[in-house]
């Protein structure tokens, strides 16, 4: 089932074990001191991704490194002073993957820079980086560790506002999907959105879905707030079976927490039973069985994310389909708070 998923971070104590592999050049030992990183000179022109990479991760790869790859320019590092973080990926309530990060040997590459304006009109930029224990881009189910750096142009020069090396663990082909959209809430706070992640690029011939995700990152501390699953499978840009996407239509804040309105839309082919969108799982089994074998849908849902929990309203779901006579029907399907398993 494809449902609302959360990435939970748990802190565990102790340093990484020493790196030892015969014939390999050891990674450079670095540390992450935000105050010292803020003192670096990031220039006045457009930000350069590879330069930022080696400023924030000062560990350029040695040309004689046997793992050197032309696939991505990478930093090769370890961090003996870092607190190890146990990053757990949950699908529904079940754990699907667990990694202790950082690795003993880490390859980090730059993935994206997105420029935007703050609520006060200043020019800002968020840079994304991905870390893996491999540097060859293989493994469609191999996730990456996302790191984010947030900058602002002050008096003509770029200044680092915040840097978080451990944002979340997602993506495929050893790369975490980067920030690709910025949302400003109704109170002027910044949130970063990520569309992607999970296992992209799988085989449509065997109809393994190309899972995607929508991640909401809180801009002031660069922590993940919400992850909504999505899925698609296309061959020559035509959908193979079910396909849907989710977008954020509104972000607001209240005394209860962060309020998010989502819109999920797509096509459902019922004979493919690998999962349903989160919203459709609030339709009763009886009502779902009455729907045609193939239908389009649009679902709107509101979430409230407080410090301790996530609550949600019943989704509003509109179904569209064509009958055997070619007539198009549209109906609103009843939903309930208790999710149907």
- Largest Cα–Cα separation, the chain: 70
Helix (H) or strand (E) holding 303: strand 294-305
Task: Tell me the two tokens of residue 38.
Answer: 């803020």
Question: Is residue 2 domain-resident?
Answer: no
Q: Confidence class of residue 269 from pLDDT cuts 50, 70 and 90?
A: confident
Q: Does one domain contain both 19 and 65?
A: yes
Cβ atoms of 127 and 144 within 8 Å: the answer is no
> Is there a single domain that holds both residue 13 and residue 36?
yes
Task: Indicate whether 172 and 226 sit together in one domain.
Answer: yes
Contact 321, 295 (CB under 8 A): yes
Same domain, 248 and 154: no
- What are the Cα distances from residue 223, in Å, to 70, 191, 194? 31, 10, 12
Say yes or no: 211 and 223 in one domain.
yes
**Total count of domains within the chain:** 2
* Full domain range(s) for residue 68: 7-237
pLDDT in tens, 200-241: 444 444 445 556 678 899 999 999 988 877 666 556 666 667
Are residue 209 and residue 184 in the same domain, yes or no? yes
Q: What is the pLDDT of residue 299?
A: 94
Domain endpoint, select from 237, 266, 291: 237
- pLDDT at 98 (0 to 100): 79
Query: For 5-36, what is each residue's pLDDT tens digit?
Result: 333 332 232 333 344 444 478 899 999 999 99
Q: How far is CA 222 from the centre of its chain?
A: 12
Given 237, 272, 295, which residue is the final one in a domain? 237
User: Do residues 88 and 152 share a domain?
Assistant: yes
Q: What is the mean pLDDT of the chain?
A: 82
Residues 219 and 251 both lie in one domain: no
Q: What pLDDT score was predicted for residue 71?
A: 72
End position of a domain, from candidates 219, 237, 255: 237
Cα separation, 244 vs 73, in Å, equals: 34
Task: Give the whole-number percent of the chain exceeding pLDDT 70.
Answer: 78
pTM for this prediction = 0.83
């Amino acid at each position: 089932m494809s449902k609302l998923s959360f990435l939970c971070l748990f802190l565990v104590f102790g340093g990484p074990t020493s790196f030892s592999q015969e014939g390999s050049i050891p990674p450079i030992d670095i540390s992450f001191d935000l105050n010292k990183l803020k003192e670096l000179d990031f220039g006045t022109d457009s930000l350069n991704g590879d330069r930022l990479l080696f400023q924030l991760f000062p560990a350029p790869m040695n040309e004689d490194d046997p793992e050197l790859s032309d696939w991505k320019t990478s930093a090769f590092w370890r961090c003996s002073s870092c607190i190890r973080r146990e990053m757990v990926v949950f699908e529904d309530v079940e754990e699907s993957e667990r990694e202790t990060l950082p690795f003993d040997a880490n390859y980090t590459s730059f993935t994206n820079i997105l420029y935007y304006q703050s609520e006060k009109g200043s020019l800002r930029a968020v840079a994304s980086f991905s870390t893996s224990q491999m540097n060859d881009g293989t493994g469609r189910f191999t996730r990456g560790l996302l790191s984010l750096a947030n900058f602002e142009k002050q008096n003509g020069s770029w200044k680092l506002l915040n840097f978080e090396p451990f944002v979340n663990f997602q993506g495929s082909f050893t790369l975490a999907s980067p920030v690709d959209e910025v949302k400003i809430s109704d109170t002027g706070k910044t949130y970063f959105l990520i569309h992607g992640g999970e296992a992209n690029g799988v085989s449509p011939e065997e109809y393994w879905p190309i899972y995607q995700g929508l991640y909401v990152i809180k801009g002031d501390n660069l922590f993940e707030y919400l992850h909504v699953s999505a899925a698609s499978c296309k061959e020559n840009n035509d959908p193979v079976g079910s396909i849907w996407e989710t977008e954020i239509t509104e972000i607001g804040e209240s005394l209860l927490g962060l309020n998010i309105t989502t819109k999920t839309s797509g096509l459902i082919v019922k004979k493919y039973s690998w999962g349903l969108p989160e919203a459709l799982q609030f339709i009763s089994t009886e009502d779902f069985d009455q729907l045609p074998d193939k239908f389009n849908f649009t679902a709107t849902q509101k979430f409230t994310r407080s410090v301790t929990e996530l609550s949600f309203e019943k989704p509003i779901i509109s179904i569209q389909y064509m009958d055997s006579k070619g007539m198009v029907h549209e109906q609103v399907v009843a939903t309930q708070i208790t999710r149907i398993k």
